[in-house]
Amino acid sequence: MKRILIVGAGGQIGSELISLLRKLYGNSNVVGADVRECKDLGQDGPFVVLNALDAQSYGYTVNKYRIDTIFNLVALLSAVGEKDPQLAWNINMGALMNSLDVARQYECKLFTPSSIGAFGPQSPKDRTPQDTIMRPTTIYGVCKVTGELLSDYYHLRYGVDTRSVRFPGIISNVTMPGGGTTDYAVEIYYDAVKDKKFVCPVSPNVYMDMMYMPDALNACVQLMEADPARLKHRNGFNITAMSFTPEIIAAEIRKHIPEFEIAYEIDPTKESIARSWPNSLDDTCAREEWGWSPKWTLTDTTEDMLYVIGKKYEQGLF
């Protein structure tokens, strides 16, 4: 990776990936792109307003900045996708098709995240294997499985260097996630700091895989830098760092804020999505093929999240 374009740079992952990549590869070598103007992202390096569905502008940007690696982070997430499945398909698949075609034309490597949402109710629930039945029941999951297959196809048919991981819920404290089923695992920390209570949209005993942002960012870099000769899989690798329920994360928060309370107001869409997803993934292939090894447990994540969000609260930032 020498000249990198992050499409969807204003989102939860993009807004932090851009800082890491600029540190590693040089500010001027990492171009941020988003459908909205993001003033902060243009301060240290190049930033362009780009609609990933506009193939011509996408190609123009890649050519202009002599890009060799694209991170396509454009996505409508699982819960919001169910409100308008046609829109979710058009955005998720439109951005992916344009990314694949541009990567093919300009000989770029391409990273597009997949998700635990690529699995469905018929997938094995615990330590879900890398290669197993998928059959998701959300439009988001349908897009993710299709995206994995299309990305593998572009690799086989045209030699495009496509790679991806199946991200679990990402816990972070810079940009809020929007419209996902796992968003509660971020919101709970903000509400714990501000109100010492949280109303959770999924049941107390529902397990889902999660990961702290620093591990998610390392996964992006490590996979894209991995020796292709070692990759038996490409799109997408199971990765995980922790698996917990709302009850478990609440208990962890109570170690720091003993008066913290959690109540439940179940959101039927999020609940049924969460129940259709695995409890935990088996990430052996990622460990073997490119050295994946997460660092952050729920205990360290909680300590760090409460510290950082506590500082933001003191500064009146939310």
- List of residues contacting ligand AKB (CB under 6 A): 77-78, 115-117, 140, 167-169, 177, 180-182
Q: Least distance to ligand AKB from the beta carbon of 208, Å?
A: 7
Side-chain-side CA neighbours of 297 within 13 Å: the count stands at 4
Q: Least distance to ligand AKB from the beta carbon of 273, Å?
A: 7
Q: Least distance to ligand AKB from the beta carbon of 24, Å?
A: 25
**Distance of alpha carbon 303 from alpha carbon 313, whole angstroms:** 15
3-state secondary structure of 13: coil
**Active-site residues: which are they?**
140
Residue 24 or 176: which CB sits closer to ligand AKB? 176
Token readout for 138 is 């959300």
Query: Which residues are bridge partners to 2 per DSSP?
Result: none
Residue 167 or 198: which CB sits closer to ligand AKB? 167
- Decide: residue 226, CB within 10 A, 0-12 exposed, 13-18 middle, 19+ buried: middle
- Decide: residue 106, CB within 10 A, 0-12 exposed, 13-18 middle, 19+ buried: middle
Q: Least distance to ligand AKB from the beta carbon of 81, Å?
A: 8
**Distance of alpha carbon 36 from alpha carbon 9, whole angstroms:** 10
Residue nearest to ligand AKB (CB): 180
Q: Least distance to ligand AKB from the beta carbon of 180, Å?
A: 3
Residue 51 or 182: which CB sits closer to ligand AKB? 182
Q: Which residue bears the tokens 């409100």?
A: 83
- For strand 47-49 and strand 4-7, is the pairing parallel, antiparallel, or unpaired? unpaired
**Distance of alpha carbon 318 from alpha carbon 299, whole angstroms:** 24
Residue 68 or 82: which CB sits closer to ligand AKB? 82
Q: How far is CA 42 from CA 27, 71, 102, 106, 217, in A?
A: 10, 17, 23, 24, 20
Residue 168 or 201: which CB sits closer to ligand AKB? 168
